Chains A and B, each alone.
Chain A
C-alpha cells in the first residue's frame, strides 16, 4: 500500500542535542512538507520541497533544517537552536500543482527535556 511513513512515533531527547525525524513516501509525489503542531493549535509550516534538491522555508524554519536528496525522502533535523522543540511533527506529501491535497504521515511526537 502506498503511504507516508514517519519514524519514530515517539522521540525523547535532551536539550542541546540535534535530532533527525524521518519521513519516507512511496506515493511518487513530488512535493513534501513538514508541519509542526502544538497542543490545541493548528499546523504551522516549517519547510516544503517541490522537487529533489530544492526546498523553501515556511513560517517557522528557524532552528530546523531539511534535505531532499531523494524523491521519496524528506528528513527534518531539529537543531539545538530551536528554542521550543517539543511538539507533534507531521510530514505530508502531494502531487505538484495547485489543488492537490496533502497526504499525511502518522506524525512524530518529540519531547525535549
Chain B
C-alpha cells in the first residue's frame, strides 16, 4: 500500500514565525519527494523537490528528507499571510506513479 500521511491541521502561526510541515510515507523504494502549495479553489503549484537525504533550501523554504525514517518536512521561514494555503506532500514511486498526502492547511496570522 502506497500511503502518504500528513497532519491535516489547521496549523496556525503568527507572521514572521517558522512554519513546520511534516509528511511520512510508507514505501521505502520511494525516490522523489515534492511539496506543492494549493490555494483554495486553485490547482497545486510546485514549491520544492528533494531527492536525497538532508536539507535543500530555496529562499524562505527548506525541505528536509530522512529516508531511513521515511520522513520529509517543509520549513517556511519568516511566514507571510500570503503563505496561507494547503501544503501537499507528494511521493513519486516507480514509473511516475505519484501519490499525495491529504494536505496540511496553514494559516499565517498578521
- Contact (Cβ within 8 A) A42 B103: yes
User: A35 at interface (Cβ–Cβ under 8 A)?
Assistant: yes
Report how far A75 CA is from B92 CA in the complex, Å. Answer: 23
Residue tally, chain B, CB below 8 Å to A:
27
**B residues less than 8 Å from A98 (CB atoms):** 31-32, 92-96
A31-B96, A42-B102 provided; 15 other pairs, C-beta below 8 A? A33-B98, A41-B102, A42-B6, A45-B97, A45-B98, A50-B96, A90-B44, A94-B98, A98-B31, A98-B96, A99-B51, A101-B46, A102-B34, A103-B46, A104-B45
- Contact (Cβ within 8 A) B96 A48: yes
Interface size class of A (residues with CB under 8 A): 20 to 34
**A residues less than 8 Å from B88 (CB atoms):** 42-43
Chain A residue nearest in CB terms to B89 = A42
Most A Cβ at <10 Å: residue of B42, B92, B93, B96: B96
Residues on A facing B (Cβ under 8 Å): 31, 33, 35, 40-45, 48, 50, 56, 58, 90, 94, 96-107
Work out how many contacts link A and B, with CB atoms closer than 8 A.
65
Would you give the shortest CB distance from B94 to chain A, in whole angstroms?
Answer: 6
Chain A residue nearest in CB terms to B98 = A102
- Contact (Cβ within 8 A) B43 A96: no
**A residues less than 8 Å from B49 (CB atoms):** 99, 101
- Contact (Cβ within 8 A) B96 A35: no
CB within 8 Å of A: which of B56-91? 88, 90
